[in-house]
Amino acid sequence: MSRVADKVVLVTGAGSGIGRATAALLVAEGATVIVSDINRAGGLETVQQIGGKARFEDHDTAQEADWKRIIDGILEREGKLNGLVNNAGIAGPFPATFETETVEQWQKILSINVQGVFLGCKYSVPALRQSGGGSIVNTSSLAALVGTPDLSAYGASKGAVRQFTKTVAMDCARKGYKVRCNSVHPGIIMTPMGEGILPDEKKRDRMRKHIPLGEFGAPEDIAYGILYLISDESRFVTGTELVIDGGMNAI
């Protein structure tokens, strides 16, 4: 399989869930993948499961110094960077309405979900340009497209990711950088984050009734969308959002 043969791709938050599934699929399709996560044990487990062309980096995506170190290290070690999957994110406490959300919770969620994406774009774009161009995929959410009264800060953060993605895409296109930027918008996916929001079967059964296709998504469902956006198959796609939600946004 060679949909991304010889590409070097950084996947953040790859210690579990969508990030892990994406890293595994990219390697299976020929890429060299840098797996990064603040969860060292999870990241190393991902690399062990994938085997082949993958290595791990400790990475707090909210920290500018970490981004500088990792991007510089990729250029030094792999010699290029062809893709970035800005996937790291947290949901925070559930439920959390805007009236009950603390400033500390709000700032923590936005520092990872928004600042992390901003820093990823800021430091990867020059590396992608140096490598002849490439693709950025930012993980947003269905929450960016609908109201989220029980996940106030999370919904706001993912809305910011959606808008910022378009800004980066248009800026790079206007300047002729040959760097594309798109967002993916998962619905309810059974990852550790999803399981935390829906911890028991009764709640899951109730939520399934709101999904037109009648089932929750799997991490691999999102990974295939990301693979397309990282690959050259999507060479004419930038500034757009790929919704993968079992039809929930169509209701």
For residue range 48-102, list pLDDT tens digits in order: 999 889 999 999 999 999 999 999 999 999 999 999 999 999 988 878 899 989 9
Let me know if 177 is a catalytic residue.
no
Of 123, 154, 224, 228, which residue is the catalytic one?
154
Q: What is the pLDDT of residues 3-59, one digit of tens each?
A: 999 999 999 999 999 999 999 999 999 999 999 999 999 999 999 999 889 999 999
Residue 3 lies in a domain: no
Residue 28 lies in a domain: yes
CA distance 244 to 241: 10
Q: Report yes or no: 194 and 223 within 8 Å, Cβ to Cβ.
A: no
Across 35-39, 150-154, 247-251, which has the greatest mean pLDDT? 35-39
- Residue 38 belongs to domain with CATH number: 3.40.50.720
Sheet of strand 32-37: strand arrangement: 54-58, 32-37, 8-12, 83-86, 134-139, 179-186, 241-244
Tell me the residue range of the domain where 101 lies: 8-250
Residue 86 lies in a domain: yes
**What tokens does 143 get?**
């929450």
- Looking at the structure of the chain, the number of domains it has is 1
